[in-house]
């Protein structure tokens, strides 16, 4: 417990860890470990065994008054059922002995007042059990029978996956029969019962105890036979107070963390925006670089950094110094002429078809001004498009690797999922051309605009929704072309030409006309070198985040070992 409190703030750095920490707090609570000091100060409280006798007596009276049904005897608890040793004064019992699970009183719509609270599962937030809304009968009239509950009852959602939806009713009402009213007796704390039903051990038991396929639920027999750690009455109240206080601290720390993360993200967004718009890139970059480890602590901000790097690359801002050191570099217009010459030779050799002249790029199509020596040109000017149409080949367990749109990720090829096609299918399907190592793969739909370089040393077949892009000349750097297509500026041009409502896609004909910024060949290589270096920096920052998360997870596991060993 001491180890846990020492690292309380660290363990709430991520919401997922905070939820695990709450579960750990509840586990400590029902083991009596949160109230060890309280018991030392209060050694003479009435034991839970006497409390259990009072509960039994109260139930006997309620049965006589026909307010609850007579219950079947429950089996004694065997030693092997007890997961841990309870403190002095506590007692293990079946849940059904300590509470009344369910109610014999049902409500029909004809007997309900307009202002009656009508509770449904959807009104309670999963995990937190916060009541999201309180709906009255005049707003939510029902036809099916509902269960009646009273103020102070614990309302438990018995339907999976909502087995952690548990609230204490603050007024009388009716609820769906998928929620069970549970009544405490002898002034026992309903809040303690609520926390007990939300602790990880009970949730695990409930999940293992469900039946039914479509709507699995925990049956009454399983619920009333669940083992229940019953503390003395006064200690129940002390536990609830401590849990509430600790949960409040966790939530405050989580909110502080969220605020801190948001401030960092706002700073990063502003800094990166300045970076992409500034003339003095070096000054802004130096400022940002001094705050890398301080502000780039979330994967979302690193994603923004990657996008900005690509944006700066295609604007020529990463190579401003390089251009000043290479003033006599051949302009891209000369490269375009050589590309045109090579295309004419390929046409003469009947290796490619003669194409219609491409329309000139109008001023409104250019999203920004290029550096001196660069030119805007259409994608089809320097790239051969191989569009694979028709039915996707039949997939088999082994053979020639088949790549689908799921394999093409932004900037890299993901091997999983691994799918294959036969030799015959490969030859029949890939009639428009075979992809080669180094080619660019571009997804035209679902997802739209992912691009990567094919770097496999094996034959591959391509499914629908992938286009192969092959430069007409070796004087186009493929990595540079990939970075251009990945950049947000070019992605926005692609999206502007896309069509479709449910699945946005782009036809090859429209993709060919997309303008892209062509840098001189030597500058393309310089840009690739710069981008590769900066992306490696991003990889390193992401690795630091993952290491930090791993350390927090190890710390949490260390706290768990302290509690359970």
Reported as a single tens digit per residue, the pLDDT across 346-392 is: 888 888 888 888 888 999 889 889 999 999 999 988 888 888 766 67
User: 């009544």: which residue's tokens?
Assistant: 183
Reported as a single tens digit per residue, the pLDDT across 100-158 is: 998 878 888 778 889 999 999 999 998 889 999 999 999 998 888 899 999 999 999 99
Residues 6+ apart with CB under 8 A from 268: 295, 296, 301, 304, 305
Please, which pLDDT band fits residue 461 given cuts at 50, 70 and 90? confident
Reported as a single tens digit per residue, the pLDDT across 534-565 is: 888 888 888 877 777 666 566 555 655 554 45
* Alpha-carbon gap, residue 530 to 313, rounded angstroms: 8
pLDDT at 282: 63
pLDDT at 276: 61
- DSSP assignment of 324-359 equals HH-TTPPPHHHHHHHHHHHHHHHHHTTSS---PPPP
Q: Which residue has the higher pLDDT, 543 or 297?
A: 543
Of 83-87, 450-454, 549-553, 561-565, minimum mean pLDDT range: 561-565
pLDDT at 390: 61
* Alpha-carbon gap, residue 330 to 323, rounded angstroms: 11
SS3 463: coil
Angstrom CA distances, 214 to 159, 160, 161, 265, 465, stand at 11, 10, 12, 42, 36
Nearest CA-CA partner of 230 in 182, 189, 180: 189
**Burial letters 429-443, b for 16+ CB under 10 A, else e:** bbeeeebeeebbbbb
Of 41-50, 210-219, 336-345, minimum mean pLDDT range: 210-219
433 Cα distance to chain centroid: 39
* Alpha-carbon gap, residue 509 to 504, rounded angstroms: 15
* Alpha-carbon gap, residue 111 to 116, rounded angstroms: 10
pLDDT at 426: 85
Q: What are phi and psi of 222, to 5 degrees?
A: -65, -40
What average pLDDT does range 477-501 have in this prediction? 90
- Biggest CA-to-CA distance, the chain: 104
pLDDT at 266: 66
Nearest CA-CA partner of 177 in 160, 158, 152: 158
466 Cα distance to chain centroid: 27
**Cβ(364)–Cβ(493) below 8 Å:** no
To the nearest whole number, what is the mean pLDDT of the chain? 85
Please, which pLDDT band fits residue 163 given cuts at 50, 70 and 90? confident
pLDDT at 551: 63
Of 85-94, 153-162, 209-218, 243-252, minimum mean pLDDT range: 209-218
Sign of the CA dihedral with 444 first, then 447, 451, and 454 last: negative
Cα-only R_g, the chain: 33
User: 């608890």: which residue's tokens?
Assistant: 77
- DSSP assignment of 295-319 equals H--SHHHHHHHHHHHHHHHHTT-TT
pLDDT at 267: 62
| Helix locations, 85-214, DSSP H | 95-98, 190-197, 200-208
pLDDT at 549: 67
Nearest CA-CA partner of 441 in 485, 375, 395: 485
* Alpha-carbon gap, residue 210 to 195, rounded angstroms: 20
* Alpha-carbon gap, residue 108 to 111, rounded angstroms: 6
pLDDT at 489: 86
* Alpha-carbon gap, residue 444 to 447, rounded angstroms: 7
Nearest CA-CA partner of 97 in 134, 54, 129: 54
Pairing assessment for the beta strands 400-403 and 460-462 based on DSSP bridges: parallel
pLDDT at 10: 53
Please, which pLDDT band fits residue 287 given cuts at 50, 70 and 90? low
* Alpha-carbon gap, residue 469 to 443, rounded angstroms: 11
Ramachandran quadrant class, 186 (left: phi over 0; alpha: psi -120 to 50; beta: rest): left
């Amino acid at each position: 417990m001491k180890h846990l409190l020492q690292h309380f703030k660290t363990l709430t750095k991520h919401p997922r860890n905070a939820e695990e920490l709450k579960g750990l707090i509840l586990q400590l609570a029902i083991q009596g470990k949160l109230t060890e000091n309280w018991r030392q100060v209060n050694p003479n409280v009435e034991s839970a065994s006497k409390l259990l006798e009072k509960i039994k007596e109260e139930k006997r009276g309620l049965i006589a008054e026909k307010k609850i049904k007579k219950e079947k005897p429950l089996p004694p608890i065997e030693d092997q059922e007890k997961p841990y040793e309870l403190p002095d004064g506590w007692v293990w019992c079946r849940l059904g002995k300590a509470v009344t699970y369910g109610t014999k009183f049902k409500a029909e719509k004809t007997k309900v007042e307009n202002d009656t609270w009508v509770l449904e599962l959807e009104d309670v937030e999963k995990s937190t059990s916060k009541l999201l809304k309180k709906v009255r009968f005049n707003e939510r009239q029902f036809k099916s029978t509902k269960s009646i509950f009273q103020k102070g009852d614990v309302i438990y959602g018995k339907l999976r996956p909502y087995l952690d939806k548990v609230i204490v009713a603050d007024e009388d009402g009716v609820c769906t029969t998928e929620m069970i009213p549970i009544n405490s007796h002898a002034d026992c704390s309903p809040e303690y019962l609520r926390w007990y039903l939300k602790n990880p051990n009970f949730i695990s038991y409930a999940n293992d105890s469900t039946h039914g396929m479509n709507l699995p639920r925990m049956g009454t027999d399983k619920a009333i036979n669940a083992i229940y750690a019953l503390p003395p009455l006064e200690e129940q109240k002390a536990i609830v107070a401590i849990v509430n206080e600790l949960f409040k601290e966790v939530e405050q720390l989580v909110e502080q963390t969220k605020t801190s993360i948001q401030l960092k993200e706002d700073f990063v967004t502003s800094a990166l925006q300045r970076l992409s718009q500034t003339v003095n890139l070096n000054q802004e970059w130096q400022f940002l670089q001094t705050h890398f480890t301080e502000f780039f602590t979330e994967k979302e901000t690193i994603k923004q950094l990657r996008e900005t790097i690509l944006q700066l690359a295609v604007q020529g801002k990463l190579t401003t110094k390089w251009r000043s050191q290479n003033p006599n570099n051949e302009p891209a217009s000369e490269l375009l002429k050589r590309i045109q010459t090579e295309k004419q030779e390929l046409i003469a050799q009947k290796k490619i078809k003669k194409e219609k002249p491409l329309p000139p790029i109008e001023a409104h199509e250019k999203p920004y001004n290029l550096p001196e020596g660069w030119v805007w040109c259409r994608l089809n000017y320097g790239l051969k498009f191989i569009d694979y149409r028709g039915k996707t080949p039949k997939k088999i367990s082994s053979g020639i690797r088949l790549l689908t749109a799921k394999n093409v990720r932004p900037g890299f090829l993901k091997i999983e999922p691994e799918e294959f096609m036969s030799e015959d299918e490969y030859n029949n399907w890939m009639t428009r051309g075979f992809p080669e190592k180094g080619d660019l793969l571009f997804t035209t739909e679902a997802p739209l605009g992912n691009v990567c370089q094919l770097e496999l040393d094996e034959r591959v077949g391509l499914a629908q929704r992938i286009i192969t892009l092959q430069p007409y000349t070796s004087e186009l750097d493929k990595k540079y072309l990939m970075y251009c297509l990945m950049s947000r500026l070019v992605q926005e041009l692609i999206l502007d030409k896309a069509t479709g409502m449910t699945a946005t896609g782009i036809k090859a004909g429209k993709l060919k006309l997309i303008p892209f910024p062509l840098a001189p060949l030597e500058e393309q290589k310089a840009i690739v070198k710069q981008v590769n270096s900066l992306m490696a920096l991003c990889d390193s920052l992401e690795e630091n985040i993952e290491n930090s998360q791993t350390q927090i997870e190890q710390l949490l596991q260390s706290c768990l070992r302290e509690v359970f060993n």
